[in-house]
Amino acid sequence: MSDFRSDSVGMRSGGAGEDPLLRRLYDRLRPFLRLFVSLIVTFLGLLAITFFIGRVIPIDPVLAVVGERAPPEVYEATRKAMGLDKPLIVQFAMYVWQVLHGDLGVSLLTSRPVIEDIQRVVPATFELATLATIIGVVLGVPMGVLAAVHAGRWPDHLVRVIGLIGYSVPVFWLGLMGLLLFYGKLGWVGGPGRLDIYYDGMVPTVTGMILIDALLAGDMDIFWNAVSHIVLPASILGYYSLAYIARMTRSFMLEQLGQEYITTARVKGLSEFRVIWVHALGNVMVPLITVIALSYASLLEGSVLTETVFAWPGLGFYITNALVSADMAAVLGGTIVVGTVFVGLNLLSDFLYRIVDPRAR
């Protein structure tokens, strides 16, 4: 009896009675289990927020469907069909079930399922935000490094002024001034929209991104026309991203350049280029990944004004029109997509941590 008790205690306490193989398997799966639970909780929180926003705003979803002149019996029948006569917790459970099955409701503006509308407009936003992020990273990271290396001198002051302007000047004003100068006066870029109107519909839709679809179709005229239209809004959004990335890179690099390992590397005779761009920047990459991911996510959901100014048919433009028209199904569906993008990019940055930083592995 005593031997049985000791074996049981050993099993519970992780002693010799526990299977080492199961223990190793559990240790390997534990981070993924925690991540999975965290994602579920975050997603449920996102759904809860969007659900209760839809119930709090002073817009009757039934009237939005049947109209203000509908008879009372039609109103009640529609209300029951939408499940609004049930308790709030039951309504939330139904809402979660619908979202998990890809049902975000039907848009009042287009009379199509919201998920289909979002699938149609997301590629335009993805194309614009991706190009803007590339501009922000390619220019912002070197500018931040340069400012940190020359801290307190004119390159640092120049980078900080450029960043300050990027933070201070409204994006819509930059867009309007850019259209007035580069399109209206100089004619260097294309106007609002993704293509000139006579090119519209001439490229088969494969990815939904005009630049890639034009290349796949081998039509270089449409490709360069799309480039002329996207270069100005992408540059304006890229400037906004550049200001944020350059500022954060400068801050991270100043912290690293004051560390003892940098002094040791210089004492050992390593070149200044290797000390800065390999050792210091290598240690900066881990927090910088999060900065870039969050900047990318903010461009995916925060390019509303830019898309409105340039009549860019993306997600921000779609949500804006839906909000003006009180199309709450479209607004909440777009909000869920934006929140899911943030969660997904945070997950991606966690995986990139393990690739960039061996200590995370």
Summarize pLDDT for 313-345 with one digit per residue, the tens: 888 888 888 877 777 788 888 888 888 887 888
Both 209 and 299 in one domain: the answer is yes
Residue 224 lies in a domain: yes
For residue 310, give the CATH number of its domain.
1.10.3720.10
Both 185 and 320 in one domain: the answer is yes
246 closest CA partner among 140, 112, 138: 140
Scanning the structure block, which residue is given the tokens 């307190």? 152
340 closest CA partner among 352, 351, 348: 348
Give the three-state DSSP class for 273.
helix
Both 177 and 316 in one domain: the answer is yes
Both 211 and 338 in one domain: the answer is yes
Summarize pLDDT for 58-79 with one digit per residue, the tens: 677 777 677 777 788 887 887 7
Residue 22 lies in a domain: no
Both 287 and 153 in one domain: the answer is yes
Question: Angle, nearest 10°, between helix axes 154-168 and 220-257?
Answer: 120
Both 141 and 257 in one domain: the answer is yes
Residue 3 lies in a domain: no
Tell me how far apart the alpha carbons of residues 128 and 124 are, in angstroms, rounded to a whole number.
6
Question: Angle, nearest 10°, between helix axes 281-302 and 220-257?
Answer: 130
Both 260 and 165 in one domain: the answer is yes
Summarize pLDDT for 90-142 with one digit per residue, the tens: 888 888 888 888 888 888 778 888 898 998 888 998 999 999 999 999 999 99
Tell me how far apart the alpha carbons of residues 175 and 230 are, in angstroms, rounded to a whole number.
12
Q: By the 8 A CB rule, do 329 and 104 touch?
A: yes
Per the structure, the complete domain to which residue 42 belongs is given by 30-100
Both 95 and 129 in one domain: the answer is no
Residue 112 lies in a domain: no
| Domain count for the chain | 2
Summarize pLDDT for 213-247 with one digit per residue, the tens: 899 988 898 999 999 999 999 999 999 899 999 99
Both 150 and 67 in one domain: the answer is no
Both 225 and 150 in one domain: the answer is yes
Both 76 and 41 in one domain: the answer is yes
> In this predicted structure, what is the pLDDT of residue 301?
66
Across all residues in the chain, what is the average pLDDT?
82
